[in-house]
Amino acid sequence: MKTKSYKKLFSLALIMVFIVSMLSPMVSKKAIAADVISVSDAISNNTGSDKTVEGYIVGAVKGGSGTSISFQLSAPFTDTNLAIADSPAETDKAKILPVQLPAGAVRDGLNLKAHPENLGKKVQITGDLMAYFSVPGHKNAKSFSFTGDTPSEPQAEPVTASPDSGLVKSGTKVALSTATENAAIYYTLDGTNPTSSSSRYSEPLTINEDATVKAIAIKDGLKNSEISSFKYTVALTGLRIHDIQGASHQSPFTNKSVADVEGVVTYVVDANNFYMQDTTPDLDENTSEGILIYKKNHGLKNGDLVKTTGQVKEWVLDGYADKLKTDLPVTEINAENGGSVTVTESGHALPATVVLGDKGRHIPTQIIDNDNFGLFDPKEDGIDFYESLEGMRVEVDNPKIVAPQNYGELVVVTNNKGNTPFNTSGAINISKADYNPERIFVDINDSSFIAKSGDYFKGNITGVMSYSFSNYKVLTNKDQLPIFVEGKTKPETTKLRGKHKKLTIASFNVENFSANKDGKDGTSDEKSGRIADSIVHNLNAPDIVGLIEMQDGDGPVNDGKTDAKDSADRLINEIKAKGGPSYEYTDIAPIDGKDGGIPGGNIRVAFIYNPDRVSLAPGTKGTATQAVEYKNGKLSLNPGRIDPTNPAFESSRKPLAAQFMFNGEKVTVIANHFNSKGGDQPMFGKNQPPVLSSEVQRLQIAGIVNNFVKSIKADDPKANVVLLGDFNDFEFTPALEEVKGNELSDMIQEVPYPERYSYSYQGNAQVLDHILVSNNLKKDTNVDIVHINSQFMEQHGRASDHDPVIVQVKLKEDCGLHQYKKAD
């Protein structure tokens, strides 16, 4: 009986031990390291059951939820939850995880109300990751364990400084302090770490030069505080804006700090940027009196007189993706990071404007830069002239618009001796030695403003000179513009017509034409109708039209299709609807994605021709990769592409040669679309002279095309050859000289200078579209550039960004000198 009773008692004891263990605090063994996650991981990936989170106990939830949650980081504490973080000193609530303490062993062992000594301890808690107080949290805690880390020994509070690190004036007093009562402060100024042997702080430190103060708090019985470091930059005083700007494109004080620079606010760009100008200018026209200020939420208005403290920067403003490599910077004072802007007066009068042109300061009219920034010469170099006015108030006298409004900007000229004369549209042409530095960009920040070349303002435009997107610009407000007057520029109609013995051939860049009507890159019905109407009425339905930028049938849809039949049918049907002939179409579709342009569009050159007047000579149509040759008086492929696999044509259009018959005479017409000027550096950029990198490929293409013409002339010296298209270069450039060679004449050069333009770029009227004829045709060829697009906006009826070019050719053998005639 004794043995039996003992066994029974032993069994009961084991049961009681098991029950007690179930009810006692769940202090588990530390989780395996691989199973433990940090607080930051628990916050960022707040899902999963039985997750062990490790962190320091920093307090408890005080109240609120979601973004309004707050934490109690010192006593008194609640007993229902904890707050843990990866750092024992964490105060950022976004980095703190609230932990639910369920009633029972976990709450009894962890809560800070009963165990304030747990504050600062490192703990591992196992439970479920889920929202708690509407923020990432930890609930249903099942077990916990303290790690070996215990709160650090009591430590002196760190040293603080007033003012804190940043910009200061010479003579600024810096006071050091610590929250630890009766602690001694020791500091250094030489960059070394302070100890009890360093200088003991007793009175504010005087900062007269750039300095780094390192300080430590020491008290018996406490661990020394962490070392605090304060960096002070002494700002230069007594400088005026013209001192900071200097007579240069770079401030002599770049990256230096300046204090109390005075100026009156002249133009508020946005909430963070404004221009100010000195109220007491010097007498040096080479030094600007205006400057850009960067200060977040400055809250200023025109007429506020301010003193600005900050760091001088050369900052590149808005621009294209490669702006840091191409664009000039603007001098600014960055008043952030310890800087300041202080208003000393409001309603101050604005400085007088600098009038540009004949009534004030003359603008250079030919040279942009001729010394690679070697000499700052605003009287000669346009790029230096505008720099000398950077940030200043300027006035443009009775400006005349020389280009259609684009991106909310107008390009204008003012009365200024030596300006390039206006062309027939009221714009200004470029020439080999003159890219018109007298052009003034006016940013009105209104892309809905309707204006074309030849329009003008009756009155003056006032604004502030700035720079962005590779050009100096006058910033102004649309509501401050003077009276706008619409000029007399109208779309033209050519007088050239096809006749019994005279063939008409046109070149027309139709700007990404396709059968697709959708989206910004599609061809709207309005545009399609305008192009067709231009061909029928403005060009008098030429016998042959070389089309540039014809897209495949679905246009910008990138689906691998390249056939352009739908696009061609759309254009031909539209032409018929406008009263034109029933044109026929020929092209060679490119390999998908190999000829550049809008992805999916597969632009190419092509021809439409009037079968009632001309015919495509018999022959076999080539493929995208077959190279055409000229033998025995005809093309081996008709139409055929010229050397299409040559690397020179990478990502560019391949020239298309087609032989036509007119009145029994053969004429070979070659349509071209040379590589674009993309990648060329800007004229008013940081690199002078600008690098024209695209020219290399154009020269290669030009040589290939000219060699093909040579092969035609070698086979038949009397062959009739016409080159047309968008050559993406000017009549005086190496590329046009190369393609012309000794075999061809560029008919563009026969157009009188005031009419010689087919494109507008940044206010410069220029020729990109050419028709060249073999020399045997020159004397019997008339030419016309029909100005219907380049100087207009869509609101004026613009159908493309290029003007078409047309020639009238008499196909017969003859000799003599050609005289330019606008019409037959």
pLDDT surpassing 50 at residue 274 = yes
- Tell me the C-alpha distance between 354 and 385, whole Å: 12
Phi, psi of 782 (to 5 degrees): -110, 150
Find where tokens 């549209």 sit. Answer: 425
Backbone angles phi and psi of 740, in degrees to 5: -70, -45
Task: Give 744-807 as a 3 state SS string.
Answer: EEEHHHHCCHHHCCCEEECCEEECCEEEEEEHHHHHHEEEEECCCCCCCCHHHCCCCCCCCEEE
What is this structure's pTM? 0.79
- Token pair listed for 185: 């402060």
Q: Is 80 exceeded by the pLDDT of residue 174? A: yes
Per-residue b or e along 311-336, where b marks 16 or more CB atoms closer than 10 Å to that residue's CB: bbbeebbebeeebeebbbbbbbbbbe
pLDDT digits 0-9 by tens, 666-718: 999 999 999 999 999 999 999 999 999 999 999 999 999 999 999 999 999 99
Place of tokens 């406008």: 578
Q: 43-94, pLDDT tens digit by residue? A: 999 999 999 999 999 999 999 999 999 999 999 999 999 999 999 999 999 9
Q: Tell me the per-residue pLDDT of 671-681, one tens digit each, with 9 for 90 and over.
A: 999 999 999 99
pLDDT in tens, 7-36: 333 343 333 433 334 333 344 434 455 589
pLDDT confidence of 812, banded at 50, 70, 90?
confident
Mean pLDDT, to the nearest integer, of 729-754?
A: 98
Give the number of other Cβ atoms within 10 Å of residue 15's Cβ: 10
Q: Which has the minimum average pLDDT: 237-251, 582-596, 716-730, 806-820?
A: 806-820
Interhelix angle 525-533/565-577, rounded to 10 degrees, is 60
Q: Where are the alpha helices (DSSP H) in 510-654?
A: 525-533, 565-577
Residue bearing tokens 């973080």: 85
How confident is the model at residue 152, as a pLDDT? Answer: 57
Per-residue model confidence (pLDDT) at position 35: 82
How much is the pLDDT for 30?
43
b/e map 410-429, b = 16+ CB within 10 Å: bbbbbebeebbebbbbbbbb
Compute the C-alpha angle 192/197/201, nearest 5°.
Answer: 85
The fraction of the chain above a pLDDT of 70, given in percent, is 94
Q: Residue 542's closest CA among 586, 585, 580? A: 580
**Residue 151: per-residue pLDDT:** 52
> What's the pLDDT tens digit per position in 202-251?
999 999 999 999 999 999 999 999 999 999 999 999 999 999 999 999 99
Report CA-CA distances (Å) from 532 to 568, 585, 610, 802.
11, 14, 14, 15
The pLDDT value given to residue 749: 98
Q: Which of 351, 220, 202 is nearest to 281 (CA)?
A: 351
Coil, strand or helix: which one is 596? coil
pLDDT at position 338 is 85
pLDDT of residue 374: 96
Name the percent of the chain lying above pLDDT 90: 91
The amino acid that residue 415 corresponds to is N
Q: Any residues with CB less than 8 A from the CB of 93 and at least 6 apart, and which?
A: 69, 70, 71
Indicate whether 417 pLDDT > 90.
Answer: yes
Give tens-digit pLDDT for 92-112: 999 999 999 999 889 999 999
Q: Count CB-CB contacts under 10 A for residue 458.
A: 10
Burial tier of 495 (Cβ tally within 10 Å: 0-12, 13-18, 19+)? middle
Q: Are 15 and 21 in contact (CB under 8 A)?
A: no
E strand residue ranges, 646-768 = 656-662, 665-673, 721-726, 744-746, 759-761, 764-766
Residue 215: DSSP 8-state: E
Check residue 11 and give its pLDDT: 41
Range 138-155 average pLDDT: 80
Give, as one character, the DSSP assignment of residue 704: H
Q: Please, how many CA atoms are within 13 Å of residue 437, restricted to the half-sphere of its CB?
A: 25
Selected residue with higher pLDDT from 804 and 26: 804
pLDDT of res. 105? 86
Instruction: Collect all residues with Cβ–Cβ distance below 8 Å to 45 and sequence separation of at least 6.
Output: 129
The pLDDT value recorded for residue 775 is: 98
Give CA separation, 576 vs 48, 536, 722, in Å.
70, 9, 26
Taking phi over 0 as left and psi of -120 to 50 as alpha, with beta for the rest, 418 belongs to: left
For 504-530, the pLDDT digits (tens) are 999 999 999 999 999 999 999 999 999
Q: Are 134 and 69 in contact (CB under 8 A)?
A: yes
Taking residue 447's Cβ as centre, other Cβ atoms within 10 Å add up to 10
pLDDT 10s digits, 743-769: 999 999 999 999 999 999 999 999 999
The pLDDT of residue 381 is above 50: yes
Q: Average model confidence (pLDDT) for the chain?
A: 93
**Average pLDDT for residues 533-544, to the nearest whole number?**
98
Pick the closest to residue 640 from 651, 652, 654 (CA basis).
Answer: 654
Degrees (nearest 5) of the Cα angle 793, 797, 800?
70
Pairing state between β 400-401 and 409-413: antiparallel
Select, from the ranges 163-167, 223-227, 374-378, the one with the highest average predicted confidence (pLDDT): 374-378
For residue 660, what are the β-bridge partners? Answer: 616, 667
Most distant pair of Cα atoms in the chain: their distance? 145
pLDDT at 435: 98
Residue-level pLDDT at 150:
52
Residue 369 pLDDT greater than 60, yes or no: yes
